[in-house]
Structure 1
Amino acid sequence: MMDDPDVLRLTLYVAGRTPRAERALVNLRRIVEHELHMPFELDIIDVLERPDLAEDALILATPTLVKESPLPGRRLIGDLSDTHRVMAGLHLPATTPSEPAGGSDEVRT
């Protein structure tokens, strides 16, 4: 399904099992289970174990969520705690806006 334009392809880059990485993972799982209404693929890459992949993807900060498809690609940096900002940053419709739960999500193109 790697070439299917209807599949949302996400990669989460983390640096070990830090509290911030764990929060990002928990928040992302909540979002994909409760907010996404489309098929998706999720890869989680620990940059401490696979620095080559982080270098290839030009990852400079963690946690970073990369939307690879459908285009346009997007990058979000932070713990993904604000569901509305994550959905907007990925250019996906949110079912209901969520209140920010703290943390920060920087959207970069």
Structure 2
Amino acid sequence: MSGQLLRLYIAGRTAAASRAIANLEAIVAGLAAEGQQIALEVIDILERPQLAEDERILATPVVIKKLPPPVRRVVGDLSEHDKVLVGLDLKEA
């Protein structure tokens, strides 16, 4: 895969999870409009608890940039798009 892989971990379909999903989809759409290839996965840890354990998820919602390395994490509703992009190392500060 030549683009980025983002995984959003949520704990059920809560209001915070819905906000995080909407915000991350907006971020991904903006990056895609710039020509970047983005794959987005949303994982509910209530349905797949082993993944939460494997990734050492302590709080949700959390987005993890898996590819390209290095791995980066941002916790919260992801409403501050610029801070999320910098935190995920997808944009320079």
Q: Same fold (TM over 0.5)?
A: yes
CA RMSD of aligned residues (A): 1.6
1:20 corresponds to: 16
Rounded to whole Å, the distance in 1 between the matches of 2:23 and 2:5 is 17
Does residue 9 (structure 1) correspond to residue 5 (structure 2)? The answer is yes
The percentage of aligned residue pairs carrying the same residue is 48
Structure 2: gaps spanning 5 or more residues: none
Structure 1: gaps spanning 5 or more residues: 95-109
Rounded to whole Å, the distance in 2 between the matches of 1:34 and 1:70 is 18
**2:81 is matched by which residue type in structure 1?**
T
Which protein is bigger by CA-based radius of gyration? 1
- Identify the structure with the greater helix proportion: 2
TM-score normalised by the chain length of structure 1: 0.78
Moved over 6 A (4+): none
**1:30 is matched by which residue type in structure 2?**
A
Rounded to whole Å, the distance in 2 between the matches of 1:58 and 1:93 is 25
Deviation at 1:17, TM superposition (A): 0.6
TM-score normalised by the chain length of structure 2: 0.91
- Name the count of aligned residue pairs: 91
Deviation at 1:7, TM superposition (A): 1.0
2:68 corresponds to: 70
2:91 corresponds to: 93
Deviation at 1:93, TM superposition (A): 2.2
Q: Using CA pairs under 8 Å that are at least 6 residues apart, name the structure with larger relative contact order, 1 or 2.
A: 2
Rounded to whole Å, the distance in 2 between the matches of 1:47 and 1:40 is 22
